[in-house]
Amino acid sequence: MKVAFLGLGVMGFPMAGHLKARGFDVTVYNRTEAKAKEWVAKHGGQHGATPAAAARGAEIVFMCVGNDNDLLQVAGGAEGALAGMSAGTILVDHTTASADAARKLYDLAKAQGVSFIDAPVSGGQAGAENGKLTVMCGGDPTAFDKAKPVMDSYGKAVTLMGASGAGQLTKMVNQICIAGLVQALSEGIAFAEKAKLDPLLVLEVISKGAAQSWQMENRGKTMVERKFNFGFAVDWMRKDLGICMEEAKRNGAKLPVTELIDKFYAEVQAAGGSRFDTSSLITRL
């Protein structure tokens, strides 16, 4: 099957690599062309000069870019993905964006006979590299059934959550659950240090009990070492928390801790940590 992947960042680069490894005929696009050339040199396949050029002839087009605006730019517009896609094909978006942007693109795609699936992911850089992402989807079941086996190339759990936008709403729940937890982990580690305990030994022990979490398992050690030059950027987390808070205004959900943690992340940004991993919350302490 001929597929395309648009956006070769921390996530997209390895995700597209898994598609190639599974035997798909992959054409990639990246705004900074050097990255696309680097991908082709590593994996084979080919690259297109614009999203439309890369998408032309593909049965399924995947994308993973930054925020709502980036998404609308790369999918729509004269040189956007949809301009290169024909009726009967599928556009899958792995960007974390608003449910509104997903529904907008669903309608835009539908008008030209293209199916759109919002499919944000969780599992971080390591999940993308190991091909073990959780993929939360919104859209039509027929299109999902066709795209799922392809997404299985990098997903360990690929699930249709409901109609268009349901994938993004599920990802919002995911981010709400993470925000307070990273702060709690930061406070725990900082407390262990003040208490003159060995923080790595503490984490090793308590990760076998009720305090265990993905963040503790995957970020605890690097937090103790104050290493943040990898992973999920603070800028992206603030974008995600902004999306959650906007949606909560609409649906009436209360997010007191999420709002507080968003302010803490603004402080990390102001101190120069925009591209730090989200575990850098501990630097405030």
Active site residues: 171
In the set 231, 234, 241, 261, which binds ligand NAP (CB under 6 A)?
Answer: 231
> Would you count residue 124 as binding ligand NAP (CB under 6 A)?
yes
Name which position in 50, 96, 183, 215 contacts ligand NAP (CB under 6 A).
96
Assign 3-class secondary structure to 42-55: HHCCEECCCHHHHH
CB of 127 to ligand NAP, least distance (A): 8
Interface with ligand NAP: number of residues (CB under 6 A): 26
CA 141 – CA 282 distance, rounded (Å): 42
- Measured at CB, which residue is nearest to ligand NAP? 9
List 27, 50, 89, 95, residue binding ligand NAP (CB under 6 A): 95
Task: Check residue 84 for interaction with ligand NAP (CB under 6 A).
Answer: no
Q: Which of 2, 22, 73, 163 binds ligand NAP (CB under 6 A)?
A: 73
Query: Where in 66-189 does DSSP place strands (E)?
Result: 90-93, 115-118, 121-122, 133-138, 155-162
Q: Measured between alpha carbons, how far is 30 from 170 in angstroms, rounded to an integer?
A: 27
Closest by CA to 279, choosing from 132, 206, 179, is 179
- In sequence order, which residues have a C-beta less than 8 Å from that of residue 195 and are 6 or more positions away? none
Residues 236-255 that bind ligand NAP (CB under 6 A): 236, 240
Q: Are residues 173 and 122 in contact, defined by beta-carbon separation less than 8 angstroms?
A: no
Do the Cβ atoms of 35 and 7 come closer than 8 Å? Answer: no
**CA 139 to chain centroid:** 18
Q: Between 17 and 56, how does the x/- string for binding to ligand NAP read (CB under 6 A)? A: -------------xxx--x---------------------
Distance CA 51, CA 49 (A): 7
In angstroms, rounded to a whole number, what is the distance separating the alpha carbons of residues 230 and 212? 22
As a whole number of angstroms, the distance between CA 94 and CA 160 comes to 13
Closer residue to ligand NAP, CB minimum distance, 152 or 235: 235
Phi-psi region of 171 (alpha: psi -120 to 50; beta: other; left: phi over 0): alpha
Nearest CB to ligand NAP, comparing residues 95 and 202:
95
d(CA 92, CA 105) in angstroms, rounded, equals 10
Give yes or no for residue 206 binding ligand NAP (CB under 6 A): no
Query: C-beta of 167: minimal distance to ligand NAP in Å?
Result: 12
Comparing CB distances to ligand NAP, the nearer of 127 and 199 is 127
Cβ 33 to ligand NAP, closest distance in Å? 8
Q: Of these, 10, 53, 211, 248, which contacts ligand NAP (CB under 6 A)? A: 10
CB nearer to ligand NAP: give 202 or 237: 237
Q: Which residues bind ligand NAP (CB under 6 A)?
A: 7-12, 30-32, 35, 64-66, 70, 73-74, 95-96, 121-122, 124-125, 231-232, 236, 240
